[in-house]
Amino acid sequence: MGYTAAVAGASGYAGGELLRILNGHPDIDIGTVTAGGSAGSALGQHQPHLTPLADRVIAETTARNLAQHDIVFLALPQGQSAALAEELDGDTLVVDCGADFRLSNPQEWETYYGTPHAGTWPYGLPELPGARAQLGDTRRIAVPGCHVTAVTLALFPGLAEGILEPEDIVAVGVTGTSGAGKSPKPHLLGSETMGSAAPYGVGGTHRHNPEIRQNLTTAAGQPVSLSFTPVLAPMPRGILATCTARFRPEATPSQLRSAYQRHYSDESFVHLLPEGTWPATAMTVGANTAAVQVTVDTSAERAVAVAALDNLTKGTAGAAVQSANLALGLPETTGLPAVGVAP
């Protein structure tokens, strides 16, 4: 049985990546594509790499245009998904790539986003324990933030098995400029970013902070203390999350690695690298994969866990399709690229 999918936000980076993946999906046909300011223009003007879809005319993003599809992917700015989702039929699979439904704590949402909390949907990170069961029985999915996915995959096996301490977790996420979206911004001009790396969202102000804490608290079974700093790097796409946490003194480095092997040995898209090999963003470009490595800094009594992924693929659009596959009862890997592009 084939399914039809509408993509809202088709002119943006996340929308373009969704369309790239869906174009090769054997069980999903692309239906209506929508956007805001670019409605009425040809998709090829905004996504010239999508040559098979270049002549598609972009429609206005309304519930009426998105209806009558089996799946609706929302690749919209924060705050725009909730109202649309309310107007869509409950039998339609709605996959939100934005932040509207990720957080379970309304107070955290209001603190970081400044608007009323719209609710919480099943979480689109299948590798988390229990996530696949929830995703297999839902018509609403909230895709994680890209930094969140990287930091969560880097740390959760050690926290889940009680080898890492939940206090004093530090994470630095180096990311490419596509994570900021496609709208013109002076600080993202080539002349500003080339040859320069700069932190942003410093001091716990980045909106992915509460979502990372939410995931790590669930893994640890108790509240975590987190310091997260994102860094903008002069590259178009990719995230490299370097995370450290205190190592329980009674544990051994081999126990730590064994925990990661147990959690990731059967995963199609998360790869624990051989010892001594460290993740790099170039390993994952264009692929729905995450590369992970972990070791112990014995002098500091801390574990060091590193994860690399493509923020547009495993960090957004790939996770959306992976989760949709589960909700539709399809094999989880269907239509998803598992091999990156190099150099």
Q: What's the pLDDT tens digit per position in 275-316? A: 999 999 999 999 999 999 999 999 999 999 999 999 999 999
List, for residues 3-43, the tens digit of each pLDDT value: 999 999 999 999 999 999 999 999 999 999 999 889 999 99
At 191, the pLDDT band (50, 70, 90 cuts) reads confident
Instruction: Flag whether pLDDT at 189 surpasses 70.
Output: yes
- The mean pLDDT value for 78-98 works out to 95
Q: In the predicted model, what is the mean pLDDT of residues 158-175?
A: 97
How many whole angstroms separate alpha carbon 336 and alpha carbon 343?
Answer: 20
Return contacts of 325-329, CB within 8 angstroms, 24+ apart.
326/126, 326/132, 326/135, 326/136, 327/93, 327/135, 327/136, 327/138, 327/139, 327/141, 328/3, 328/27, 328/70, 328/71, 328/93, 329/136
Rounded Cα distance between 232 and 180, Å, is 9
Q: Which of 21, 142, 143, 146 is catalytic?
A: 146
Q: Give alpha helix (H) positions in 99-208.
A: 106-113, 131-135, 146-160, 190-193
Share of the chain above pLDDT 70, in %: 100
Q: How confident is the model at residue 184 (pLDDT cuts 50, 70, 90)?
A: confident
Per-residue model confidence as pLDDT tens digits over 242-254: 999 999 999 999 9
Average pLDDT, the chain: 96
CA distance 343 to 172: 25
- Quote the tokens at residue 230: 């994102």
pLDDT of 81 > 80? The answer is: yes
Mean pLDDT value across residues 112-119: 95
Q: How far apart are CA 21 and CA 179, in angstroms?
A: 18
Residue 324 to residue 141: CA distance in whole angstroms: 8
Identify whether the C-beta of residue 280 lies closer than 8 Å to the C-beta of residue 308: yes
Convert the pLDDT of each residue in 224-276 to its tens digit.
999 999 999 999 999 999 999 999 999 999 999 999 999 999 999 999 999 99
**Three-class DSSP category at 187:** helix
Instruction: Please name the fold of domain 147-309.
Output: Dihydrodipicolinate Reductase; domain 2 (3.30.360)
Note if 243 is an active site residue.
Answer: no
**Tokens linked to 176:** 């490419």
Question: What percent of the chain has a predicted confidence (pLDDT) above 90?
Answer: 93
Q: Is the pLDDT of residue 1 over 80?
A: no
Q: Strands 239-246 and 302-309, how do they pair?
A: antiparallel
pLDDT higher than threshold 90 for residue 127: yes
Mean pLDDT computed over 102-126: 97
pLDDT computed for residue 78 by the predictor: 86
Q: Is 211 exposed, middle or buried (0-12, 13-18, 19+ CB in 10 A)?
A: buried
| Average pLDDT for 195-214 | 96
Predicted confidence (pLDDT) at residue 181 exceeds the cutoff of 90 = no
Query: Parallel, antiparallel, or unpaired for β 93-96 and 140-142?
Result: parallel
Four-way CATH pick for 3-143+315-328: 3.40.50.720, 3.30.390.50, 3.40.50.300, 3.40.50.2020: 3.40.50.720
Q: How are beta strands 226-232 and 169-175 bridged, if at all?
A: parallel
Whole-structure pTM value: 0.96
Q: Where in the chain are the domains?
A: 3-143+315-328, 147-309
